[in-house]
Amino acid sequence: MGRKLADADLDLYRRVDEVLFYVWDPIGVAHSPAARDEYQGYLPKVFAMLQKGADASSVAAYLDAVATERMGLHENGEHSKRVAELLLDWKTKIYRPQ
């Protein structure tokens, strides 16, 4: 049985989902509503990494590994780093004390 996420955790989970689909988008499907779930298989891992305090280079390395090893694409380290930094920015914004 799964656990219910706190509001802030749910917000971060949704943001990670959006960033992976609309920004990371290594196979270029963000323009297609039919492909909206394309990267959701990677969502729990990225979310868990952020929750555990992973830094941008670790998140970027994971994204690059997915793109190269699972999707057969060329490495795009700079893009993965920008995406990872965006994810960390969202985490900071969401968990910032009010």
User: How far, in Å, CA of 89 to CA of 85, rounded?
Assistant: 6
User: What is the rounded average pLDDT for all residues in the chain?
Assistant: 95
Residue 30 per-residue DSSP state:
T
pLDDT value of residue 68: 96
Residue 1 has pLDDT above 90, yes or no: no
Q: What is the CATH number of domain 7-95?
A: 1.10.340
Handedness of CA 39, 43, 45, 49 (dihedral sign): positive
Residue 78 has pLDDT above 80, yes or no: yes
User: How far, in Å, CA of 29 to CA of 46, rounded?
Assistant: 19
Q: Categorize the per-residue pLDDT at 97 as very low, low, confident or very high, splitting at 50, 70 and 90.
A: confident
